[in-house]
Amino acid sequence: MTQFQTLPLDAAVLKSLDQMGYHEMTPIQEMAIPKLLTGQDFLGQAPTGTGKTAAFGIPLISRLQAGSGTIDALILGPTRELVQQIAEELNRIGAEKGIQALPIFGGENVFVQKEALRERKAQIIVGTPGRVLDHIGQVTMDLSQTRMVILDEADEMLDMGFRPDIESIFKHLPGGRETWLFSATVSPEIRKIADQYMYHPEEVRIQPQTKTAENIQQMYYVVKDEEKHRLLRQIVKEHPDMYGIVFCQTKRDVVLLTRKMRDYYPIDCLHGAMAQGDRDQVMDAFRSGKLKLLVSTDIMARGIDVDNLTHVINYSPPHDPESYIHRIGRTARKGETGVAMTFFNPFEKRALEQLERRVKMGLQKHPSCELEFEDAPPKGFGRYQGQGNSGFSHGRGGQKPNGHNPNGQKRRPRRSGNPNPVAGQTGGTSSPSSAES
């Protein structure tokens, strides 16, 4: 791999990278950084977890001059967890040079954010589309001098219904700016964004991982939905040293499972209706080891970076192979071993077969599992009718991958209150543009 020292980067940035232990570039960094140093629009396709933040953060900070007093760069991300993670890494990269990044997202006191914006210490704003648009509307964020705009996890933002917000934000950006777009996939919707807001962008594509890590033991259970929480209790009982993440599909599933499990194990959850302070408290407890299990959805898990996880449990199978690889890759880091377990209901045999075919390896049925797959669900079997036997064909939650619902209308973030909050948590009413992001 190529060393960062071989690139024409700012000396202060190189010093920060050395202090961070960053020496060799990942493939996306090796391909993207030289192009981003030249001052042109850029479209990068790379899976989550490949080092994209440093891929755009290193050249960005290397090109900025400290003390401008203006917002020189705007970075948009889909969730506040990701926004926080990006800002933290950029602040580490920019520490020696004196470049600061300010995270802006919903769920945090807006007056605190206004005061930070008024101080004009941060030259980089990292925000969720909804909250950035709020500040633009309140004239507390001036983007008239912004030279670079970066869309990170662009496919996720479109899937969450943020395109109208993104289009509104671009109306307040100056001409002649650079636009960098990073996405795990380049769908027709992503291509439309590129055609509309980018000028002959340089394109780089990193092929998604097709084979999962060999040091992860991958197993599955066939289990009825109503028995899943009992099976999880049994697994926890058999593995008293378990330290892991349980993935569910929806916030409701996350809340209900946590309620059923918290009397048996040190467990808590993350969901979109929680206040930011509660999320931070849960993550601090999980990272410190006070919690042994964290229950989360895929979206809420973005930004969770914890080492030494022993298990990843897919309480419901993911809707696509890349999500599966991303989920289980949170264990077995740095050469360690890990265990991944996936729960399939009796009518999801096709989903298992498609998953095995796409990741190019077989999953082992757990020896204690006695239930077998059934050929087809009974007529009117609501949750799985048209889904359980369809494998990964409908994207997240049965939605089409392009972020539209079946009748062709765009999905917009829906305002709703906290659905059955877990006891002891204080999450209030919020919308996807603030709570999920």
| CA 282/CA 402 separation, integer angstroms | 33
pLDDT at 303: 57
pLDDT at 215: 82
- What is the model's pTM? 0.61
CATH number, span 4-205: 3.40.50.300
pLDDT at 328: 85
Contact status, residue 251 vs residue 417, Cβ threshold 8 Å:
no
Helix (H) or strand (E) holding 126: strand 124-127
Token pair belonging to 382: 């609501």
pLDDT at 408: 40
pLDDT at 368: 94
pLDDT at 428: 37
pLDDT at 300: 62
pLDDT at 326: 76
Q: Residue 33: left if φ>0, alpha if ψ -120 to 50, beta else—which one?
A: alpha
For 14, residues 6+ apart whose C-beta sits below 8 A from its C-beta are 4, 5
pLDDT in tens, 292-312: 999 998 766 655 667 789 999
User: Which segments in the chain show pLDDT lower than 70?
Assistant: 1, 48-49, 207-213, 299-305, 320, 322, 333-335, 376-437
pLDDT in tens, 33-62: 999 999 999 999 987 667 889 999 999 999
Domain(s) of CATH 3.40.50.300: residues in the chain:
4-205, 216-377
pLDDT at 235: 95
CA torsion, ordered 138, 403, 53, 121, to nearest 10 deg: 0
pLDDT at 85: 85
Q: Superfamily assignment of 216-377 in CATH? A: P-loop containing nucleotide triphosphate hydrolases (3.40.50.300)
